[in-house]
Structure 1
Amino acid sequence: MMLKNNHQQKSVDIPINQEPKTFEQHRREMLTGLQHRHKGRKRPKLANTPHTDTWSDVIDNWVDSSWRSWDDEMHRLRRGMFALLPLDIFGLRSSYPDPFYLMNQMEDEIEEIRNRVGMCRVPGIGALNDFLKDAYEVGEDGKLYFKVHFDTKGFTPDDIKVDSTEHRLTVHAKKVSESDSSKSSREFCRMIELPQTIEHNQLKCRLTEDGVLMLEAPVKAPDYESITFTDNRRLGIHPKSADQIQSVPASKALAVKGW
């Protein structure tokens, strides 16, 4: 069980399904499926009449853009994956009762090392308040999803445990090495804060052949008429009136933090 502000939160284990394909193969199949499913659904643009993109238009544009920039897209996705942090480097153990304390300690150690050697921020590590700019995209069924990826190369589903509470998700991995004369193990961990805008009870986890842990969940009742994607395939919202903007609570914003 996880504790926060002295209130107990129920932790739910998320099963990990092994994918018989690589991350790139999975991505290609998803885009191909979306392309075939939505092909020909675009509404014809009539002369002298205003045209507003439908969600099918948005999907088509997003898929076309992803194909055109395939190499850049794959590089961007891999660069944005979360790296698991080794606990033993920081003298920590997974038995700490508060995961926030554990991760804060790890971040402090990383920052101190960077300061000592004059390093820039390490890719894949991130800061506690970094925002994931690419956490929302189209899913295999053509709906809007929250998606995050973890680099877990070298681990099997049996090595990894994923659990979630209402507000956060934790990935814990343990690798045991044995020889005739010795046995050793290393533990790794990573945590992200989950946004309120997703269906937490529909979180799914898959592990690809090349070690990418893919986690996704559908977004709660998104307003598809207002959603679009920018030129670099990041989620955007069509402008609304001032009254509409003020009526949206800050807690409902499509934002996510990770560390």
Structure 2
Amino acid sequence: MYRDMEEEFKAFDSELGHIQNNLFQLAPIDTETMQSSLLKVESPIVTDSGGNKKLALRFDVSNFKPDEIEVKTKENVLYVHAKHEENTPEKKVFREFSKQYSLPKSVDPAKLKSMLTKDGVLHIEAPAPEAIAPKPELYLFYIRFLSIYLSIYLSIYLSFFLSFFLSFFSSLSNNNKYTYVAASHPLKESV
């Protein structure tokens, strides 16, 4: 009887250890999914095939059903929120997505249109006034200006350091009381 209780206790202890290990074990982070859910907007103003400028934002909400996604604006801020819950006897799943985006002042929130693709990408677009659309000619001017400025700056910087090092090493050789001879001979003191 004692042996049976001891075996039961060992089995119970083993099961308790198994539960404890699984309880505090973290699932690996899926960085690809995490990065794709982040709002990546290099330039929210794009040009469509007709040459019209528009605000275009994309959100990956592929893990949510269309009725779980909410898009709203308040005081020139766009809010995208999605919430998914599953409750079964075996598991409980809770997933939530929330993003905010400050709309440019000249974009009318009433003109925003949203569309959900089959692969779960939420597209939000609005016409962009010309005033906020990027001007490529201006960017080219800035790039040219910066390249000229940097080349002048680097040439001055390099010439300063070259002259400094040359003067430094020449002063070292003039102030040195030792004369350096070929490597096979010892150093001789100059008189």
Using the size of structure 1 for normalisation, the TM-score is: 0.35
Larger radius of gyration: 2
The higher-RCO structure (CA 8 Å, 6+ apart) is 1
Larger helix share, 1 or 2: 2
